[in-house]
Amino acid sequence: MRASQDQLIRPRGRRRALAVGLLAVALTLTSACTDSDGGGKPSSWQGGGQSEAPKAAATISEPAADAKDVPASTGITFTTKDATKTAVELKDAGGKAVEGTLAADGKSWVPVGALDYGTSYTATVTATGDDGRPATATSTFTTMAKPSNQVRVSSFLGDNQVVGVGMPLIVKFSRAIPESYRDDVQRRMTVKSTPAQEGIWHWVSPTEVRYRPKTFWKADSKVSYRVQAGGLPMGDGWFGRADLSVDVKIGPSLVMTVDDKTKRMTVTRNGSVIKTIPVSLGKKSTPSSSGTMVVIEKLRKTVFDTMEELGPEEGYRTKIDYAQRLTWGGEFIHAAPWSEGQQGTTNVSHGCVNVSMANGAWLFNNTRVGDPITVKGTIRKLQNGNGWTDWNMSWDQYVKGSALPYEPAADPDAAATPGATGSTPTPTPTA
C-alpha cells in the first residue's frame, strides 16, 4: 500500500524524533560537502550563503561624451573594474568600424591612422566580468576641422633601403617640438624588428629624433618604423600633417676598426676578419677623431675645397676618389694615392683616414651607409653631434635622450613605445 503524504512528512513518537535527527545530520553533511544544488562540487560560503561574482564596469575618460574639436590623432582612454575581458570599438556616423590597437597596459586604444577631420565618431568600451555579463560605456565625439598649421614629418631612410648595422633611424620635423610635447609624440613612434631587438628613441634636437638598438643591429634584420603624427598636437596650435611609415633592411655586419698605434684598419664581416688595410691618419696639427662613427654618405668622385675657409696659403682644392663621410666636420675614409708611401707608418692627412686607391675601391664596393667605424688612439676625441655619433654614447647616456622613461619591453619586437636642426649642414671637407 502506498504511504500517505502525512505518513512521509509527519512520523509519530520515537520514529518521528529519529527521523528528524537523521534529517538534521543529513542537512549538516550536505551543507559542508556540496553546493546548494546538491551537485557535489565545492562552493564558497560567506555568512551562510554563496557570494555573487562582482559585476564588471567600464568608463571612458577621453574623448568625453559630446566633445567637439577633438584632435584627429585621438585615442580612447578608459578604465574598467572587475573585468576579465575588454573590447574597444570605434565607428563613424555611418557605422564603419575603425581599426586600432589596445595598449599593453589595457588602459587605452589607438587607431591605426589619423581619423577624418570634422567627423562624428562613437567609441564603445565593453568590459566582461567573471559572471559573463558585459558592461558598456560609450562616448560620441566630433573631430576638429583640418588645421592650417601643420608640421611635416620626414625620414632620412626610404622604403626597402639596405643599410649597415650601425644605422640609426632618423626622423625629422619641419618645426621644433616643444619639450612638453615630445613624450606624446614619442608615444606614437613605434619600431618593429625581425629578429626582435631592444632599442629606444633619442632626441638629438627639437627637430630631430633618432632610434638605435642597445647593440648594433643584427645582420640581415628587417626593420619597420612608424610615426602616427597625423592630427597629433605638437604645440602652439600646430598639428602633425600625416603619418609616416618606413620599412628598411639591415645588411651584413661589416665593422671597421682603425688603430693609430698600428696604422692599420681591420675589417670584419659577421664577426670574421676579411681584410687588414694600412692607413694614414691626421697629422699632429690636424688629428683624426677617436670614437665610433658610421658612414653617412658615399661619393665615388668629389672635390675637397678648403680655399675659401683656409685661404690661398693653407687651403687646397683636390679631386678625391672613393670618399665616405664620417663627420660633419669633414672627416672621410678616402683613397689618397699621394700618401701611399706613408700609409701604415706615418700620419700625414688633414684628419681623414687615408687608404690606397685599390683599398679605397675595395672599401667603397663593400660598405653601406650606416656601417660603423671605430678609430682608436688619437689625441682628439670625437665630439657627439659631429656626425651620426649615436654609437659614441653608452646605452645609459643614450637612454637619457628619451622623452619617456626607459622600460625594457616584455616583447622587444614592439620596442619603441624615445645637433643639427631641420636640415643637415655640409661643412668643408678635409683630406
Catalytic residues: 334, 352
Helices (H), 327-414: 357-366, 395-399
Task: Give 304's strand partners.
Answer: 318
**Do β-strands 108-111 and 57-62 pair in parallel, antiparallel, or remain unpaired?**
unpaired
3-state secondary structure at position 32: helix
In three-state secondary structure terms, 423 is coil
Cα 286 → chain centroid: 39
Query: Is the preceding omega at residue 134 within 30 degrees of 0, hence cis?
Result: no
Ramachandran quadrant class, 268 (left: phi over 0; alpha: psi -120 to 50; beta: rest)? beta
Strand-pair category, 150-151 with 239-240: parallel
DSSP 110-151: EESSPPPTT-EEEEEEEEE-TT--EEEEEEEEEBPPPPS-EE
The string over 259-276, giving b where at least 16 C-beta atoms fall within 10 Å of a residue's C-beta and e elsewhere, is: bbeebebbbeeeeeeeee
> Residue 29 gets which letter from DSSP?
H
Cα-trace Rg, the chain: 34
What is the Cα–Cα distance from 120 to 86, expressed in whole angstroms? 23
Contact 157/149 with Cβ under 8 angstroms? no
- Report how far residue 217's alpha carbon sits from residue 253's, in angstroms, rounded to the nearest whole number: 8
